[in-house]
Amino acid sequence: MQFPDWVRHRRLSVKLVIAIVLLSSMVTLVVTSIQVLIEYRRDVHGLEQGLSDARSSFSRSLGASLWALDESQLTLQLRGLHQLPHVDRVELTGDMALSVGEPDGYTHRHEKTFPVSHRTADGVRHPLGEVRIDASLAAIHSRLWDRLTVILASQAFKTFVVSTILLALIYYLVIRHLQSLAGHARAIRLERPADPVLLSRPEHGFMRPDELDDVASAMNHAVSRMAQDMRDLRAAEERLDYRTHFDMLTGLPNRHLMQQLLTATIGSTGEQACAVVLLDVDRFKAVNESIGPEAGDDVLRTVATLLRESTPADWQVGRFGNDEFVIVIPGAWRAADLRSRTGQLLQSLGANGKASHLALPLSATAGIALCPEAGRTAPELLRAVDSALQAAKQQGAGSVTVYDPMVQQETRRQLMLDADLHRALANGEFHLLYQPIVDPATATVVAVEALARWEHPDQGTIPPDTFIGLAEDNGLIVPLGEWVLRQALADIRRLRALPGRSALRTSVNVSPAQLVNGGFAAMVETALAEKALPGDALQLEITERTFLTNVARSRQALQRIEALGIKITIDDFGTGYSALNQLRRLPVNGLKIDRAFIRDMLEDPQDAQLVRAITSLADGLGLEVTAEGVETDEQLQLLRELGCDLAQGFLVGRPQPLSDLMTHLGHSHDHA
């Protein structure tokens, strides 16, 4: 049997019909079986009743005929019994044996036996025999089977009709709407939520809303929620994208987006000419700390607004981080022209902006990098412009500097040296040279200055003016200074053991960072004790920067050091900041005149007067004076005339290893 597609391909419909047919068939079978059983029992009961009635009707006449031995009459009576429904044989036994009919051969039969007797006139009943009636159930069974066939056929027809009608109703009322809901569900897309589902039936009807309405409503609600969730998700993605690419405070593109814009501007191979300007807001940290972060935010918003308003439309302005702003400028520019244009921008910023609620005008410092001169990729240009900005900061607030490749190379070299410096001390790459210090009057060596040298494995000897500043910046000056002092004490102990050199002292330079370190004085005392040396074996040279760095703590350390008998000298006197008040208050024992004054004092009368003034000042304060950079006999002679106490320089002796110095001092008691 070929069913239409809407039946064959709808398993729910088929399942429902099969369930209905099976249930209906089971009910039909049960009901029909009960009905047939009842009819069967009724027919059998009717047969029993007929045979009982026949007994009542024929018992007396049969007894009389048998008493009279009237065979013909008995035969007639037996035939009368044979005519009863379903009876196919009647047999008489007793005083006379007679039978009528033969069994039809049907296995299911029913028998009825009753006695035959005769009562005489004297009232005595005489048994004469018995009659057995044999009935066949074939007719009853046949009728029941026919009945069963008719019932089953009619029930099957009714079931088919009802199932077909139910299937059509189920399809019309349920299945087609489920198909519509399924199709609607398949049409739903995250990027395009479907329209609300509408069932193809009247909006209002009997027993509405029903479960289908509930499903449709739930689906519409789910689609609506999905659409809302998608809108929320897109909004969240847009917010996240905005946060990823824009600065929330100023609304400008952030560092990430500006790097992308810069990459797009210069092209994939860096063939497009452009420029990058990096601005740093001056005094931003002071405003932020003195007034508060809200004021700092207000400054940044003001700068962002002014930059947007003061730059052409094709200039990309962004916030690069903290108080830095970046501008990506397309096209080729001459360095001088862009420096001038950037200077005008900074002037506009100062004229139109104020630092929060203060009357202090805004100012900024800027660095400039040109493509392709400074680099052909975004990272290269950003490194270059940052280097230019750092150079501009060193020139002062409001400065504008164009990137110089040589500066970048020097910066890279400094960074590499900084990294190498961390391992140099552990690897034993430092050593000491010693330069003699003599009494000009007698040419006797009275002291030696310990000078640290760094033997770099790749770059050779690194001068002190290069690595000392690095060590002060990265904090290594404290352990490096301790190593120098301990090594100098170990060496001076060996030098003082030479004949006639027991009063020799070693002079060690000390950084202001070492003095303000809480354990410096204790370390010096411990180092002297470990070498069993008196305080007069050591002289410490401090710079004039000590007067500017935590004077109270420095004074405390110097006083403790002086108490050990250690001499304290101000190095490079006259080149920095030396307040006479500090000279009076700090425990200073001597001054060292910078080599710049000594070098030109024979040709420049002013330098000679300065040396004379310093010598007179030191003499008045009771301070020992040492002249550095003495290279000629004439200079040494003039220093003698000026009353200089000590002299140091190439004329006296060059910096030399300890072994050479010991050899020289061991052979001469007068000079190195």
Reported as a single tens digit per residue, the pLDDT across 39-56 is 888 888 887 888 787 777
Radius of gyration of the chain (CA): 63
Closest CA to 362 of 347, 377, 376, 372: 347
Give dist(CA 51, CA 82) in Å, integer. 11
Q: Answer whether residue 200 shows pLDDT above 60.
A: yes
As given in the structure block, the two tokens for residue 223 are 């689609």
Give dist(CA 599, CA 634) in Å, integer. 11
Give dist(CA 244, CA 249) in Å, integer. 13
Answer whether the bond into residue 330 is a cis peptide, omega within 30°.
no
| One-letter amino acid of 607 | D
Distance separating the N- and C-terminal Cα atoms of the chain: 128
Reported as a single tens digit per residue, the pLDDT across 433-470 is 999 999 998 889 999 999 999 999 888 888 888 888 88
Percent of the chain with pLDDT over 90: 28
Residue with tokens 């760094």: 454
As given in the structure block, the two tokens for residue 4 are 């239409």
Residue with tokens 């049969």: 62
**DSSP labels for 50-118?**
HHHHHHHHHHHHHHHHHHTT-HHHHHHHHHHHHTSTTEEEEEEEESS-EEE------S-EEEEEEEEEE
Reported as a single tens digit per residue, the pLDDT across 463-516 is 888 888 888 888 889 999 999 999 999 999 999 999 989 999 999 999 888 888
Give dist(CA 659, CA 642) in Å, integer. 34
Lowest mean pLDDT among 84-98, 351-365, 556-570: 351-365
Closest CA to 658 of 448, 483, 430, 439: 448
Reported as a single tens digit per residue, the pLDDT across 325-341 is 999 999 988 989 999 99
What integer pLDDT is reported at residue 538 of this predicted model? Answer: 95
Give residue 357's pLDDT band: very low, low, confident or very high (50, 70, 90): low
Q: Count CA within 13 A, CB hemisphere, residue 465.
A: 0
Give residue 375's pLDDT band: very low, low, confident or very high (50, 70, 90): confident
Lowest mean pLDDT among 138-152, 183-197, 465-479: 183-197
The answer to whether residues 434 and 412 touch, using CB atoms and an 8 Å cutoff, is no
Give dist(CA 465, CA 471) in Å, integer. 10
Answer whether the bond into residue 127 is a cis peptide, omega within 30°.
no
To 10 degrees, what angle do helices 71-82 and 11-67 make?
Answer: 170
Helix (H), strand (E) counts: the chain: 22, 18
Give dist(CA 276, CA 297) in Å, integer. 24
The answer to whether residues 110 and 137 touch, using CB atoms and an 8 Å cutoff, is yes
The answer to whether residues 626 and 590 touch, using CB atoms and an 8 Å cutoff, is yes
Percent of the chain with pLDDT over 70: 91
Q: Answer whether residue 298 shows pLDDT above 70.
A: yes
Q: Which residues contact 504 (CB under 8 A, 6 or more apart)?
A: 445, 446, 447, 448, 492, 495, 496, 498, 537, 665
CA angle 327, 331, 337 (to 5 degrees): 75
Q: Answer whether residue 400 shows pLDDT above 90.
A: yes
What integer pLDDT is reported at residue 35 of this predicted model? Answer: 82
Domains for the chain: give ranges and CATH numbers.
Answer: 5-160 (3.30.450), 251-403 (3.30.70.270), 429-667 (3.20.20.450)
As given in the structure block, the two tokens for residue 469 are 């500043």
Average pLDDT, whole number, for the chain? 84
Q: Which residues contact 194 (CB under 8 A, 6 or more apart)?
A: 184, 187, 188, 223
Give dist(CA 551, CA 587) in Å, integer. 12
Q: Answer whether residue 193 shows pLDDT above 90.
A: no
Give dist(CA 154, CA 151) in Å, integer. 5
| One-letter amino acid of 461 | T
Name the more confident of 62 and 539: 539
638 alpha carbon, distance to own chain's centre: 73
Reported as a single tens digit per residue, the pLDDT across 574-610 is 665 555 656 667 788 999 988 888 888 888 888 888 8
As given in the structure block, the two tokens for residue 190 are 């995250």
Reported as a single tens digit per residue, the pLDDT across 509-541 is 998 888 888 789 999 999 999 999 999 999 999
To 10 degrees, what angle do helices 520-530 and 551-562 make?
Answer: 20
Across the beta sheet with 324-330, the strand order is: 316-321, 324-330, 274-281, 364-371, 400-402
Give the phi and the psi of residue 95 in degrees, each rounded to 5.
-65, -20
In 385-504 the beta strands, taken as DSSP E runs, fall at 400-402, 430-439, 444-456, 460-462
Reported as a single tens digit per residue, the pLDDT across 541-580 is 988 777 666 677 888 888 899 999 999 998 877 665 555 6
Q: Answer whether residue 268 shows pLDDT above 60.
A: yes
Closest CA to 54 of 138, 108, 113, 94: 113
| One-letter amino acid of 244 | T
Dihedral of alpha carbons 329, 334, 339, 341, sign: negative
Inter-CA distances, 490 with 159, 430, 435, 497, Å? 120, 15, 16, 11
What integer pLDDT is reported at residue 325 of this predicted model? Answer: 95
